[in-house]
Chain A
């Protein structure tokens, strides 16, 4: 065989192997580098499992004399709270007010689901009348202000903000200072906080999501960093609201951490020993004159409404 042909075969073989390796490496590492990319996207909640007026729905059903009619407020909100506001609709709205096409709610439905970011936008733009979310982010408040909208936030219950790691992570308990240190980059290896010798991958969420806003508040102005090598090979830590991890969208690979020695159980949230329980809110435009808004808010704050909050897995106002 001629020398030129031989060299050509050798170069082609090397190129083929390198390209194959790069492809595999890209598939492996893409999840780390872009962990919210299209491959990793998963629907945060299966809406059809928590529909109102449905026999096998996962929401709680209660009987009440409060029945709304006329101009029904359109409800929207966060994924973690969707079963709660779906249950409010189930209790107080007429059955024909909700329309679901098998994938999403139709435009004329009084119940909608666009998650925290979409919901805050909807209540400002007027396509939703009441939304159910954690506190708004600075950007969401600025968006409301730009549109001359004053938001009213009515606390309707409590929920714990929790930190989650893989079940195979030997760490079960961290202090608030340690968690903040994992996110600021002060601690880059789990061995520095009692774990094994693995890098830390401190995962954050989308800007404007309820839990990301809560995390910014938790960090109290400290800048969060994300390590490339941690993201590539490290053990992850993330954050969420307790009910989302515990009940709504549990994952057998993930566990919640105790904070300052207190596990985020329903009991510890109710008795106030878990250090970071916070309110979640019914939010509406102060200028919205829909007469059903105060009626629905009164119902939510009543014994029956708070029973829905409790039976949905959250801590009602009176218990905290």
Chain B
């Protein structure tokens, strides 16, 4: 594998990695309110 191809693969993996982390972070944020509700509902009393 030449260096140019190798760098392209590294760049693609990095972009996919960053995208997946951003997507999971957004999902976490969107579910945050539901989590606090479920925590309250599941643990009360």
Do B45 and A79 have beta carbons less than 8 Å apart? yes
Determine how close the nearest CB of chain A comes to the CB of B41; give it in whole angstroms: 3
| Chain A: number of interface residues, binned into ranges | 35 or more
**Count of A-B contacts with CB under 8 A?**
111
Give the chain A neighbours of B37 by CB distance below 8 A.
165-166, 236, 251, 253-254
Do B42 and A244 have beta carbons less than 8 Å apart? no
Main secondary structure of the interface of B (DSSP, over half): helix
Give the chain B neighbours of A235 by CB distance below 8 A.
34
Name B15-45 residues within 8 Å CB distance of A: 16-17, 20-21, 24-25, 27-28, 31, 33-45
Do A254 and B13 have beta carbons less than 8 Å apart? no
Please measure, in the bound complex, the distance between the C-alpha atom of A168 and the C-alpha atom of B9, giving whole angstroms: 44
Give the chain B neighbours of A203 by CB distance below 8 A.
38, 41-42
Give the chain B neighbours of A168 by CB distance below 8 A.
33
Determine how close the nearest CB of chain B comes to the CB of A287; give it in whole angstroms: 29
Do A20 and B41 have beta carbons less than 8 Å apart? no
Say yes or no: is A200 at the interface (Cβ < 8 Å to chain B). Answer: no
Q: Which of B10, B38, B43 contacts A236 (CB 8 A)?
A: B38
Please measure, in the bound complex, the distance between the C-alpha atom of A164 and the C-alpha atom of B27, giving whole angstroms: 24
Give the chain A neighbours of B16 by CB distance below 8 A.
17
Determine how close the nearest CB of chain B comes to the CB of A84; give it in whole angstroms: 14
Question: Which residues of A are in contact with B by a Cβ distance under 8 Å?
Answer: 1, 3, 6, 9-10, 13-14, 16-17, 20-21, 24-25, 27-28, 31-32, 35-36, 40-42, 44, 78-80, 115-116, 164-166, 168, 201, 203, 205, 209-211, 233, 235-238, 240-241, 244-245, 249, 251, 253-254
Question: Which residues of B are in contact with A by a Cβ distance under 8 Å?
Answer: 1, 3, 6, 9-10, 13-14, 16-17, 20-21, 24-25, 27-28, 31, 33-45
Q: List 13 A-B contacts (CB under 8 A).
A: A10-B9, A13-B10, A24-B21, A28-B28, A42-B40, A79-B45, A203-B41, A233-B31, A236-B37, A238-B38, A238-B40, A241-B45, A249-B44
The 6 closest A-B CB pairs, nearest first, are A238-B41, A17-B17, A35-B42, A166-B37, A24-B24, A236-B38
